[in-house]
Structure formats: C-alpha cells, structure tokens
Structure 1
Amino acid sequence: MSFRPLDPTKYPQLLNEKVSTVSALFADLQLPKPEVYPSPAEHYRLRAEFRIWHEGDSFFYAMFDPAEPRVPVRIDHFPTASRTICELMEPLRQALGEQLVLSKRLYQIDFLSTLSGDTLVTLIYHRRLDDEWQAAAQTVAAKFNIQIIGRSKKQKLVLGRDYVLEQLPVDGQHYAYHQYEGGFTQPNGEVNAKMVSWAKARCGQNPHTDLLELYCGNGNFTIPLASHFRRVLATEISKTSVKAAHENFAMNAVHNAVMLRMSSEELTSALNKERSFRRLADVDLDSYAIDTVFVDPPRAGLDEASRAFIARFPRIVYISCNPETLHRDLEILTKSHAAKDFALFDQFPYTHHMECGVFLIKKGVI
C-alpha cells in the first residue's frame, strides 16, 4: 500500500528536496534566495480527522489509502498529530467504547487542538442523538477536560464550547484566538507562529499609514500586524471567521481594525468606486492612507481585478498556500514591484505542499 507511516529521520532530506522543487519553479522570476522555515518533524498538526471502523463490539480509528479507498487502515498511533491529540486518542476510544450510547453508529471523530493544549472533539454519528447520549458525553468531556460536539444529520449538540482557545507565541508575545469548529485555522501552529513573525518583520512600523488585508480569516495575521499601522481595513467572506475575528480583536484589545464581511473582489470594486455597498455605509474608505497590502488567498490565488488593484500600492506582503498560483500572480506583480524577500514555510511536511511568503516593494520606492 502507498499509505506509509511517518519517518521523522527522513524529514530533513524530504524538506531539502521540496525546497529545491519549489525554488526551481520560481527560477525564471529571479526571486531572492528563500529563507526556509521547517516544521517539527512530528506532532505538528493541530487538526486530525478519523473515520471509525466497527468490528463486532469494538472499533478503531481508520484512514483510507487513495490507492485502495475501500480498505481501512487502522490507526493506533498518529505522530503527525499534536501531542495533545496523540495522548487523547486511545483513552478516548476506550471511554467511548465502554458505553454503547456513545459508540453506537459512531461514524467519525474530528480533533481540534491548540499549542496551548485546549482541545475540542467532534463525534459524528449516523443516528439521532438524545438526552442519554448528552449525559454520557458530558461525563467523558469532564473526565478528559475537553470540549465535545455531537453531530448527526441536521443536529449539532455543543457540550461546553464550539471553539478552542489558542495562545499563539510570536516574538515573545502571546496572541489569543477563538478557533471555531468548522472554521479555517492554520493547521501547523509552530510554523504559523514563524509565518506571523516573518510578516511582522516585513511590515515594520507605520504609525501614519494603514494596512489593507484581504482574506483575513479569524484575524490570525490581522491582530499581530495591527500594532504596526495606524489602522487596518480587513475583509473576509466566511461568516464563522468574521465572528471569530471580532471576538479575537476584543480579546487582544485591537481597536484600530475594521472587519468587513465581503469578498476581496467586492472590496476592490468599492475602493475603485465601481460599486457601492450598504455594508460600507459607516466606513469612510477615502480616509484610509493605505501603503501596505497583506494577502493570504485560497489556493486559487488572486483574481485578475484584485491583482491589478493591489499592484497600485507601495508594499505587498503575500502569503500563499499554492506555489503554482503564486508564480502566476508574481509574473504580473513583479512587472511593477521588486521582490525583496522570499520565504518557504513547511506547513505540511511529508507532502508536496509548501507555503510561501513574498515581500514586494514598488519599483522606484525606497
């Protein structure tokens, strides 16, 4: 089978090979030599999802090899996941197995953890959950000091909270985040902290100018970068992420950031004065003195209008989860901007995926 266990001893070699491959992709753009930020070789992933495979009266965690998608691969040890998840997996399996009301028609278990140790477990069933299930699950939640969510078709029961609390350490400071079940969060916490630190260093101190951030998620970058600027204008389309961002701004006493629930394309259109939006009725866009744009788009990269729009600004900090679409966007952006820094962040070790960071300054601007 092509599904193989993780081998930490091979990580340095695999990372070097991946760095060479990604660097070769950008060779035609003559970017600076990349700074490489490795991941821990194991226990790096703060999220994990497992199917539950039942055999008689027992069950086990399972994953499926794409080469043999019908054959479950039993998972008893999963060093890819955070230590918090790894240490919880077997005791939780045993506790659920001791009560039929908790194991009956249990289909999947999702784990969400943080660097600070907070953990949320979602139990997904092929049956409706009742008061008996809730009482039993409450006991398990208390035993392990975790949050539990029960899900079935058209049903969601939250025992405690439906989010975890992260305390992200960056440059000697901790930033607090609510990270909601089902919402996007960076999966590799330690590499995420390195990405935030890198972005902060590129932004510098700008007390008289403003930052525009597209695709801001739950404020992962917005909050640490807010202290570098007079104000931040941020946009995000996900309702869950917008809710989390507002809560995270409050927890971190960030008062100079405005969050808009709209797509980057819509905000670009508004800033270009092509369209007006009711959501912007109380926002004076003309009052912003934007000189830096931060973007962290989805794998599709920037759309054509957004790419052309951000090219107007003196400085661009671009975080990308897809080197191919980043290359496409840089082919255009490097016509107006010079790439001053290039970084590779290994968010997903042992895979071909690589997170990239590029800092661009408009040509002719010192």
Structure 2
Amino acid sequence: MINRDPAAYTAQLHEKQQRLTELLAPFGAPAAQVFASPREHYRLRAEFRLWREGGQQHYAMFEAGDNRTPILLEQLPIAGEQINALMPRLKSAWQASRELSRKLFQVEFLTTLSGDALITLCYHRPLDAAWQQAAEQLAQALGVSIVGRSRGKRLVVGRDHVQETLTVAGRSFTYRQPEGAFTQPNGEVCQHMLGWACDALGARDDDLLELYCGNGNFTLPLATRVRKVLATEISKSAVHAALANLADNAIDNVALVRLSAEELTQALNGVRPFRRLAGIDLASYDFGTVFVDPPRAGMDPDTCELTRRFQRILYISCNPQTLAANIAQLNDTHRIVRCALFDQFPWTDHMESGVLLERR
C-alpha cells in the first residue's frame, strides 16, 4: 500500500539524496538537483498475474521470492489513473467471455501521459479466430489496442504500440512505444530527465555520440542541441521504433546503427569493421559529447575507456553503484560538474541519477 503521508515521501526522497551524495562524494560532486515524483498514479506500465479464487480470476501480484502467496488486487494506486479505470472493465469482460478468460494467466497494461493504451493478454493455449473476434469487440469497447500472446504466436488488434507525447524545453516530441519493449515507466519524471539532460548538454556546434539509445527517448530532444548525432542500439525492435520516432518528429541529423556499445568501441578502435557501419563516415564527426544510458550493469571497462576520449560525458544511470564504479575509472581525466536524482520509483530503494562529467 502507498503511504499517502507527504512527510513519509519527503523523508524517503531525502534518504535517497543522501545515499547518492555519499556515493559521489569521493569524486567531489556538487549537490544533486532533485526531481520528485507524484506520490501515486505515476506508473504508466503494470503487469499482473491472474489467480483463481472463489471460482473467479483475480489480478494478483507477489512479493519478491514468493510466487505462492498472491496479493489479490482490484486497484493499484501506484499505476496511472487510466490503468486503474481499465482494470475493472477488463475483469468484467473476461468474466463474461470464455474466449477471453480460458487459460489466460497474465495481463499487462501499457499507457501514456497522452491517453493512449494497449493491453497484452497472455495465454497457455493457442489463439484462434474466435479469440480474435472477442478481442476485437473488447478493444472497441475499451478504446484500446490489444495484443494476444501464446507460445510462439502474437495477434494484434489495433496497433502493437502506444503513442506518447513528451514536452521538453517547450517542444513536444511524439514517441511510438512498442509492446514488449522497454519504456520509462514514470512519464512525469521522464520529462524531467529529458529536460535536465538537454540543459546539461547545452546548445553546441559539435556532434554527439549516443550509446544504448533505445527507442530514441533521449535522442530526439538531444538531437536539437547539436550539429548531428551518431546513435547506437542493439535491439532490433528498439531500432525500428527509434527510426520511426525520428521520422515522425522530422529529425534528420541522426544516423542510427544497430551495434552494441562494445561493438562500436571495437569499430572506433579499428579492431574490426562492421557492415552495419557501411555508409557511415566516422571521420566526418566532430564528437564533443558522449551520452550513455546503460543497463544496470553499467558500462563495461572498454566502453568506459572509450568515453574517456570525449570532452564531455553525459551519463544517465539506473544503478548508482555501477555509476560510481564507472566514475572511479574516469576520475583521473574527468570531473563531475553537474548531477541529479530522478525519483522514477517512489516508495522503493531504487534510484535513477544523472551526471555530467567534463575533462579536467
């Protein structure tokens, strides 16, 4: 349950700020700018298992490490208001339809600040034309897209993505967010992250290298601040979404290649060529800044060494421990000039943070 006491939230956020301060203190970091979250209805994604009790299927969640003791739910206060509005309507629909409920074991909601919604229904059975017809009726009734998943098969009713609109520095950017792909769960805090990153980068007349670009979440607004961008991402679905997002927003100064950060490091070091870089003239770039938003493991040592070449390193982290480890590797050549705490996951110990490092 959410603690609705504002003082409790403030205390927890202060504790996170203190932890980040302690982690970055060895590197002489300035005070962190803190971006708070709404205390409830902040999650735009939610995933539920279904649990049968009293002859009915209920939304259920489980404590970490315990998949036998369900917590049955009718509402989820941390989830967005749109998810909470859809939950009882979807439950009524599957209770009234054998085609929708038979061997349904998991439900996922994906929504946006702009009001779009997609529901994924997961089954332990093949999906057929009868299910498709029932799903089409449900999608129309709820005003959403629906994706049905069973082993080796995916059926889409409507679109397989949602459309989001985020406003950064007074400009609106539209994003296709595919079903099953990573998106930032806290839309309000995501806008703060994008705004902070753009402000930290500033308006520049050189180029940006972006690693781990995903669906272009940061790429779109950052591209408006530099001459041109070379962005990399290894996930095919994320690359397709990023290319669509660049086109939808008429951003034409970004070259996107499907390479991992490790592969790009090898390419820039001349270790091996990559056909996926055909047509990309690396020598034409005047990189001043590298932007990284790595997974929880942080940057591997070789990629970390690659970032050392740049005048500026703009780093968004979902794991402050690996952030500190990477900064320790870079500390002899770069210093932290700005840092921030983004409370993407209130009421948890999780922290998202950002730092701007500049060459000493």
**Cα deviation, residue 348, structure 1:** 0.9
TM superposition score normalised by structure 2: 0.97
Q: Tell me, what secondary structure is at the counterpart of 1:71?
A: coil
Q: Tell me, what secondary structure is at the counterpart of 1:255?
A: coil
* Paired position in structure 1 for 2:2: 6
* Paired position in structure 1 for 2:339: 342
* Paired position in structure 1 for 2:245: 248
Mapping 1:1-366, distance limit 5 Å: 5-9=1-5, 10-66=8-64, 68-207=66-205, 209-363=206-360
Which ranges of 4 or more aligned residues in structure 1 deviate by more than 6 Å?
none
User: C-alpha distance in 1, partners of 2:19/2:355?
Assistant: 17
**Cα deviation, residue 68, structure 1:** 4.0
**Cα deviation, residue 21, structure 1:** 2.1
Check whether the contact 2:48–2:108 (CA below 8 A) recurs between aligned residues: yes
**Cα deviation, residue 172, structure 1:** 2.1
Q: Tell me, what secondary structure is at the counterpart of 1:28?
A: helix
User: C-alpha distance in 1, partners of 2:239/2:35?
Assistant: 29
**Equivalent AA in structure 2 for residue 232 of structure 1:** V
**Equivalent AA in structure 1 for residue 357 of structure 2:** L
**Cα deviation, residue 67, structure 1:** 5.8
User: C-alpha distance in 2, partners of 1:21/1:292?
Assistant: 27
Q: Tell me, what secondary structure is at the counterpart of 1:206?
A: coil
**Cα deviation, residue 25, structure 1:** 2.1
CA displacement, residues 191-216 of structure 1 (integer Å, 9 cap, x when unaligned): 11000000100111113x11000000
User: C-alpha distance in 1, partners of 2:50/2:112?
Assistant: 23
Check whether the contact 2:203–2:225 (CA below 8 A) recurs between aligned residues: yes
Q: Tell me, what secondary structure is at the counterpart of 2:84?
A: helix
User: C-alpha distance in 2, partners of 1:181/1:67?
Assistant: 26
User: C-alpha distance in 2, partners of 1:195/1:215?
Assistant: 16
**Equivalent AA in structure 2 for residue 81 of structure 1:** A
CA displacement, residues 304-339 of structure 1 (integer Å, 9 cap, x when unaligned): 111111111111100000000000011121211121
Check whether the contact 2:27–2:336 (CA below 8 A) recurs between aligned residues: no
User: C-alpha distance in 2, partners of 1:67/1:338?
Assistant: 40
User: C-alpha distance in 1, partners of 2:124/2:278?
Assistant: 45
User: C-alpha distance in 1, partners of 2:262/2:66?
Assistant: 41
Check whether the contact 2:214–2:239 (CA below 8 A) recurs between aligned residues: yes
**Equivalent AA in structure 2 for residue 7 of structure 1:** N
User: C-alpha distance in 2, partners of 1:26/1:69?
Assistant: 37
Gaps of 5+ in 1: none
Check whether the contact 2:233–2:257 (CA below 8 A) recurs between aligned residues: yes
Q: Which moved more, 1:78-87 or 1:242-251?
A: 78-87
**Equivalent AA in structure 1 for residue 347 of structure 2:** Y
TM superposition score normalised by structure 1: 0.96
**Equivalent AA in structure 1 for residue 117 of structure 2:** T
User: C-alpha distance in 1, partners of 2:63/2:204?
Assistant: 49
Q: Tell me, what secondary structure is at the counterpart of 1:156?
A: strand
User: C-alpha distance in 1, partners of 2:36/2:115?
Assistant: 22
Check whether the contact 2:27–2:335 (CA below 8 A) recurs between aligned residues: no
Q: Tell me, what secondary structure is at the counterpart of 2:121?
A: strand
Q: Cα RMSD over matched residues?
A: 1.1
**Equivalent AA in structure 1 for residue 265 of structure 2:** T
**Cα deviation, residue 61, structure 1:** 0.2
**Cα deviation, residue 26, structure 1:** 2.1
Q: Which moved more, 1:248-257 or 1:172-181?
A: 172-181
CA displacement, residues 57-90 of structure 1 (integer Å, 9 cap, x when unaligned): 4211000123643111101120111111111111
Q: Which moved more, 1:5-14 or 1:73-82?
A: 5-14
Q: Tell me, what secondary structure is at the counterpart of 2:62?
A: strand
Q: Which moved more, 1:79-88 or 1:60-69?
A: 60-69
User: C-alpha distance in 1, partners of 2:83/2:170?
Assistant: 26
**Equivalent AA in structure 1 for residue 2 of structure 2:** L
Identity %: 51
**Cα deviation, residue 56, structure 1:** 4.8
**Cα deviation, residue 43, structure 1:** 0.7
